[in-house]
Amino acid sequence: MTAGAVTTVAVWVGVALIGGIGSVLRFVVDRAVARRVARSFPFGTLAVNVSGAALLGFLGGLALSKEAGLLAGTAFVGAYTTFSTWMLETQRLGEERQLRVAFANIVVSVALGEAAAFLGQRIAEQF
């Protein structure tokens, strides 16, 4: 096996392991927040996605190597954050005729996510 093939296998294994950790952490954080704030607004998903945006902004500001960026950004943060759950929860709020809450979920998530990514990047630039 060549050195390039070993690196590729190691990266794939890393993506699987680190992605698994990210998805488990997403579940833990979402449930912890949802238990504390029992409302129709999906605060657990919001907390996960905003913290993930901050972390991804931070990682983006660090100028990581291609492999480190793949493992930290794509594997961990990609598995940690959840666009699909955010959209499903928004769609369900719409089905339940909670249109203001659904609209607020979109606006608040995008605004806080953008701000968090910007802040994370600015913090990383200080290193």
Q: CB atoms < 10 A from the CB of 60, how many?
A: 17
Q: Which residues are annotated as a binding site for Na(+)?
A: 78, 81
In 31-121, where do the E strands start and end?
none
- Rounded CA separation 47/116 (Å): 11
Placement of tokens 């493992």 in the chain:
71
Separation in Å, CA 123 to CA 59, 117, 118, 120, 126: 10, 10, 9, 5, 5
Q: Which residues are annotated as a binding site?
A: 78, 81
